[in-house]
Amino acid sequence: MRSFLLRSRWLLEPVIAVVYFTFWAMAEVGRHQLGPGTLRTTVPFWTALLLVAVAIGLSRLQPIVAMAVATAVLFGQLLFPAGIFDEPLAYLGYAVVILVVSATVEGRMRVGALVFAVGAGLSIAGLLAWWLGVGRADGSARASFFVLCAAAGAVAWLIGTLIGVWGRKRDGEHELARATAELRVAESETIIAEERERIAQDVHDIMAHSLSVILAQADGARALAGERPQAMSQSLETIAVAARTSLTEVRMLIETLVAEPDGGSTPAVDDLEPLIDRMRDAGLSVSVERYGEPDGLTAVQELAVYRIVQEGLTNALKHGGADATARVVLDARGGGMTISVASSCAAAPPDAGGTADGGRGLHGMRERARLAGGWLEAGPDDGDGSDDGHGYLVTAFIPRVQAVSA
C-alpha cells in the first residue's frame, strides 16, 4: 500500500485541481452561464478559473510554469475585469499553488517563490479592492487589507518551505536507511566470500601437500617394486600417514564451520617436525635451521608459519624432481619469526601451479602472511650455490603480537 501511494504521489495536485475547478464551476455556473449573448463577460471568468486549476495541477511537476500561468491569470484579470472572481475565496487556489511550489523548489528558486507569493497576495488585494470596493471608504482598512493579503502569501510560502524541508529530510533518512541496508548486505556477502576463500585456501594447502607426498611415494614404490620389494612397506606406511593426517586436518577444518576448535587443534610451529619428516620420507632432502624460540606468536600466526613452510616444501617436492633439496630457516631472534624456504632442483620451477604469481599457493602464502601482520616474497633464487641447477626462495616475516600492537 505504501509503495502504491508513493508511486501515485504525482497525482495529488492534478486531483486537487480537478476538485477545485469542479467545485467553483458548480458554485458559479448560475452567475456565469455560457450563452450566445454572454460570452464576452463569461469567457474571461471561465478561462481564469481553468488556468488557476491548471497552475495547481502543474505546481509540483512544473513549478516555474505554474507560477507563470498563475501570474498570467492576474494580469489577464487586470485587462479583463470580467474575469475577476466575484467570490474572494476562489483565490484560495493561489494559496495551494504557493504551498506546493514552495515545497518543491530549492536554492535560489525559493526567493523567486517568495516574490511570487507576496506579489500574488498584493495583486489579489488590488483586484478585490478595485473590483469589489474592499476598503474603498476607509484608507487604513484598505492598507491593512493589502498587508494582510501580502502576509497571507508570505505565510503560505513559509509553510510550504517548511513542508519541503521536512519532506527532503525524511527522504534523506529513507535513502540513508536503504543505503545502510545495502551496505550491510554487501558486508555480509564480503564476509561470506572471505570465509569461502579461507576454506578453499586451507583445503588447497592440506590436499596439495598430502597428495604430493602420496604421489611421490607411489611413484617411488612403483619404480622400486621389482628391485626392492621390501621398500614397498615403508612407502605404503608413508602414504597411509600422509592420507590419515590430511583426513584429520580436513575434518578439523569442517568442524570449525560449526564450532570453535580447541586451542591446540590447529597446526602450529611445533608441528613442523612431523611435516618435515613426511617430506623426507617422500624423497625431498630437507635441512632445517632454527634460531630462537617462537614466543609471542598467536595461534593464527603459528598456523601461518606452518602453512607457509608446508606450501614451500610441497612446491619443492612437486617441481623438484628426483634430486630436489630444500633448506628451511626459522629465525625467531628478532621482533618476530623470519621464515626462509630455499629449494633447488635440476629444472626451473614452472610458472604455473603453486609458484606463479597467479597461483593459489603463492597467493595464499602472501595472504596468510599479510593477515598475520607480516609479509612474504617469493621468486627465483640465483644465489642458491648450485652449478647446474635452479633455485626458488620463499622469504616471509611474521611479527610478534607486541610488535604489531606497537
pLDDT recorded at residue 314 = 83
CB half-sphere exposure, 259, CA atoms < 13 A? 7
Q: Which of 129-138, 266-275, 304-313 has the lowest mean pLDDT?
A: 129-138
Average pLDDT over residues 348-376: 66
Looking at per-residue confidence, does 141 or 100 come out higher? 100
Whether residue 230 has pLDDT greater than 80: no
pLDDT recorded at residue 364 = 76
Whether residue 51 has pLDDT greater than 90: yes
Question: What share of the chain has pLDDT > 70, as a percent?
Answer: 70
Q: Specify whether the backbone of 133 is left (phi greater than 0), alpha (psi in -120 to 50) or beta.
A: left
Looking at mean pLDDT, say which of 98-107, 315-324, 343-352, 355-364 comes out highest: 98-107
Question: What share of the chain has pLDDT > 90, as a percent?
Answer: 32
Q: What are phi and psi of 254, to 5 degrees?
A: -65, -40
Query: Which option is the CATH number for 285-406: 2.60.120.920, 3.30.70.1280, 3.90.330.10, 3.30.565.10?
Result: 3.30.565.10
Average pLDDT over residues 368-374: 85
Q: Find all residues with CB under 8 Å of 65, minimum gap 6, and list them.
A: 58
CB half-sphere exposure, 374, CA atoms < 13 A? 28
pLDDT recorded at residue 353 = 42
Separation between Cα atoms, residue 178 and residue 189, nearest integer Å: 17
Average pLDDT over residues 374-389: 71
pLDDT recorded at residue 185 = 80
Burial class (CB in 10 A: 0-12, 13-18, 19+), 157: buried
- Band (pLDDT 50/70/90 cuts) for residue 351 is very low
What are the cell numbers at 118?
507576496
Beta strands 336-345; 375-380: pairing state: unpaired
pLDDT recorded at residue 67 = 95
Whether residue 14 has pLDDT greater than 80: yes
pLDDT recorded at residue 129 = 87
Whether residue 319 has pLDDT greater than 90: no
Whether residue 85 has pLDDT greater than 80: yes
What are the cell numbers at 230?
621390501
pLDDT recorded at residue 262 = 45
pLDDT recorded at residue 82 = 87
Whether residue 354 has pLDDT greater than 70: no
pLDDT recorded at residue 352 = 38
- Can you give the residue ranges of every domain in the chain? 2-182, 285-406
| pTM of the predicted structure, to 2 decimals | 0.51
pLDDT recorded at residue 7 = 66
